[in-house]
Amino acid sequence: WSCLKEGAIRRPAERRSAMQSARALQLQRRLLEQSMERRGGAGGGGGAVDIAAFADASVPRDTAAALAHWAGECLRWPPPGRLHEFMEVRIQHPLGLHALSRSSFDPGDLVLSEDALLRIPRLPNTVLGQLKRRFGPRSPFLLPAIAVDWQRAGEDVRQAVLSLFWAHPLLDASERGPLLEENFLACKELLEMHEPLRAQWEPHDLLRFLNIADLNIHSDSTVPGHSDFSGLFVVGSKFSHSCAPNCSWSFSEEGYLQYRAIRPIAPGELFTFSYVGNGMSLVMSTLGRRRHLGSLWFVCQCSRCLGPDLTRRLQCPECGAPKLLPQYAEQDGTSIDWTAARPMSEMIPDAPTWSCGLCGSVFSKDNLPLEDEAQLAEHVPSVMQQEPRSAAKDAQALAELREQAACTVGTGHWTWALATFAWLQKCLLLLHGSPTFRFSERDLQTASIAVAQWLEESTPGNSEQRLPALLLAAQLAEDLGGGLDAWGYDPCRPLGGRFEARSRLLARGWRPAAGGALAPPEAAEPSGAAAGPAARGAMGARPFRATWG
């Protein structure tokens, strides 16, 4: 999704004035953050939300008033009375009600901190088991209905949930479709067996709530203790999806939803995060990402998905260049019946033809190794996600996958890049724990440089995916020497001028050197006869095991 920036050309003096104003606003914002933290982050501070300034004219008056009311109740940052200085909300097809920036944000800046409108905590395992035995695969969908304490939540919260969050339009259609109809029948059955719920809900409204919870919930089970923080957040739910997001979110120790910028955000730009997490799943192909997101009933229209599928480059059968790209048919998802019981491969079909960006040759999908590609696309992530065995065995398996991908789909394909990245991770572990290696320092440098180049060419806007590869290269540089430039990165601007990465390396002990470059920390000399990378870092090795999802 493109940024909505002013197109006027400014004179140098005007640019300097604008930059000074932006810096002043950012400093003021940080001082306000610190002030809110000292006061304990109490919600409702800073006055009421200015409805007219916060909500665009496209937002109905009643919706804007309700949104402003609950934002005032739940916000911890920005102060409600200044919310309009940092963001606004609009309604626009196909995004629905969404949030845009009204300020400039640097990487690491806090964009939003918000308490939940409604908590949806984890249920005890005994209750989960009973629900699964009764409803089978429908049990995860029904779980929020039982998890919420509805009497404590109150009628005003219930109505806010039903009116302020996106739900599928077919819920109000005369024919809901097979999937929604099955969920509706499950809701009726749940109400029949659960008297407290029956006193609170009608089947149609319960179906709507569960659909809202399914599509809008923020939940994190990866951090111990965070499962009980799951819930629905009024303002945070208005951040849109992108496969090249500008924000990431997490829960604070108090359970507040916090969004932080992960790349520079300009005024007028959509606030975006990844619905499928910020792991390496964002590196896979447009087709893979869209099918994965199809479970949320939309076809992604972000800038990456609408542009060339650079992560899926194949070798051209005609000229041999890794420039063969799929030519997807235009599809916005509006004509898809998401409630039909059909495979996602039918709802979101593959590209019928492929075109070479070098020689211009066009090929039918039937004449390309797409079955082999599909096997690699399944196998590489599964190897990354599986429980570690021994580093040597894992490295060998990944080395074989690298070779298979290079021969089958070429070195421009995401499966080769991910297999190479994971192989480097395992090799790092071997450096710190094995007396013998089946690779050379040159092998590692060549692979690290190739991954860095691939990420820069194929996912230039994805800082969260490029950063693990940079940190991995930094660890290899610390252990084996050569500096960042020997491992594929500019020692002055490791991820280019767009992303701020110096602070992450400085925090790891790297130090400024001549010409603005960064140099690895000075390692202490190993004692005794043992020397080399295994002895230097046996206890301090960091595996950099990037997550898939």
Question: Which helix H or strand E contains 545, and what residues bound it?
Answer: none
The 8 Å CB, 24+ separation contacts for 383-386 are: 383/419, 383/422, 384/280, 384/418, 384/422, 384/546, 384/548, 385/548
The predicted pLDDT at position 21 comes to 47
For residue 473, the one-letter residue type is A
Asked if residue 455 and residue 391 are part of one domain, the reply reads: yes
SS3 355: strand
The verdict on residue 336 lying in a domain is yes
Q: Residue 29's pLDDT is what? A: 55
- Domain range for 309 is 281-368
DSSP string over 180-231:
HHHHHHHHHHHHHH-HHHHTT--HHHHHHHHHHHHHH-B---SSTT-GGG-E
531 and 434, same structural domain? yes
Do the domain assignments include residue 451? Answer: yes
Residue type at 88 in one-letter notation: E
249 and 298 in a common domain: no
Which CATH number belongs to the domain containing residue 47 in this structure? 2.170.270.10
**Domains contained in the chain, number:** 4
Distance CA 404, CA 410 (A): 9
Residues 459 and 344 in one domain: no
Backbone angles phi, psi at 300, to 5 degrees: -60, 135
Report helix, strand or coil for 55: strand
Q: Does the N-terminal peptide bond of residue 78 adopt cis geometry, omega within 30 degrees of 0? A: yes
For residue 242, give the nearest of 305, 191, 168, 163 by alpha carbon: 305
Amino acid letter for position 481:
G
Note the pLDDT of residue 3. Answer: 28
Q: How many CB atoms lie within 10 A of CB 489?
A: 26
Choosing from 229, 261, 296, the residue where a domain stops is: 229
Q: Are residues 38 and 77 in the same domain?
A: yes
Enter the tokens of residue 24: 């002043």
The verdict on 444 and 484 lying in the same domain is yes
**Residue-level pLDDT, tens digit, the chain, 549 residues:** 222 222 332 333 443 444 444 554 555 555 555 544 444 444 444 679 999 999 999 999 999 999 999 999 999 999 999 999 999 999 998 889 999 999 999 999 999 999 999 999 999 999 999 999 999 999 999 999 999 999 999 999 999 999 999 998 888 877 777 888 999 999 999 999 999 999 999 999 999 999 999 999 999 988 888 888 999 999 999 999 999 999 999 999 999 999 999 999 999 999 999 998 878 889 999 999 999 998 888 899 999 999 999 999 999 999 999 999 999 998 877 778 777 777 877 889 999 999 999 999 999 999 999 999 999 999 999 988 888 778 888 999 999 999 999 999 999 999 999 999 999 999 999 988 877 778 899 999 999 999 999 999 999 999 999 999 999 999 999 999 889 999 999 999 999 877 888 888 998 899 998 888 999 987 434 433 333 443 333 333 444 455 655
Joined tokens for residue 91: 């309604």
Based on the fold, state whether residues 363 and 375 are members of the same structural domain.
no
Q: Is residue 6 part of a domain?
A: no
Torsion sign across C-alpha atoms 288, 291, 293, 298:
positive
In the chain, the N- to C-terminal Cα span, in Å, equals 22
Q: Does the CA dihedral 351-354-355-356 come out positive or negative? A: positive
Tell me if 342 is assigned to some domain: yes
Identify whether 468 is part of a domain: yes
Place of tokens 């959509």: 270
Q: How far apart are CA 179 and CA 95, in angstroms?
A: 23
- Residues facing residue 410 across a β-bridge: none
Q: Are residues 55 and 190 in the same domain?
A: no
Which of 368, 393, 413 lies at the terminal end of a domain, its last residue? Answer: 368
Residue 77 forms part of a structural domain? yes
CB 339 within 8 A of CB 177: yes
Let me know whether 399 and 439 are in one domain: yes
Residue 170's nearest CA partner among 297, 311, 30, 25 is 297
Which is it for strands 96-101 and 257-261: parallel, antiparallel or unpaired? unpaired
Q: Which residue's structure tokens are 């992960």?
A: 262
**Which ranges of 7-107 would DSSP assign to H, the alpha helix?**
12-38, 51-54, 61-74, 83-86
Tokens of 337: 């019946």
Look at the block and give the residue holding tokens 């097809």.
93
Phi, psi at 227, each rounded to 5° = -60, -30
Rounded to whole angstroms, the Cα distance separating 356 from 366 reads 16
Q: How far apart are CA 445 and CA 484, in angstroms?
A: 10
Q: What is the pLDDT of residue 530?
A: 38
CA 300 and chain centroid, separation: 13
Q: Say whether both 175 and 254 belong to one domain.
A: no
In the prediction, which pLDDT does 173 show?
77
Q: CA nearest 27: which of 19, 37, 16? A: 19
Q: Are residues 246 and 304 in the same domain?
A: no
Query: How far apart, in whole angstroms, are the C-alpha atoms of residue 89 and residue 234?
Result: 12
My answer on whether 223 and 124 are in the same domain is: yes
Tell me if 545 is assigned to some domain.
no
Instruction: Give dist(CA 163, CA 411) in Å, integer.
Output: 49
Nearest Cα neighbor of 150 from 139, 141, 140, 162 is: 162
Q: Using CA atoms, how far apart are residues 545 and 374, in angstroms rounded to an integer?
A: 24
Sign of torsion over alpha carbons 183, 189, 193, 198? positive
What sign does the dihedral 499-501-502-504 (CA atoms) show? positive
Interatomic CA distance for residues 266 and 55, integer angstroms: 19
Q: Residue 2 domain-assigned?
A: no
Cis peptide, bond prior to residue 12, ω within 30 of zero: no
Of 288, 283, 321, 315, the C-alpha closest to 406 is 315
Residue 404, CA distances (Å) to 322, 393, 400, 401 in order: 16, 17, 6, 5
Which of 368, 401, 421 marks a domain boundary?
368
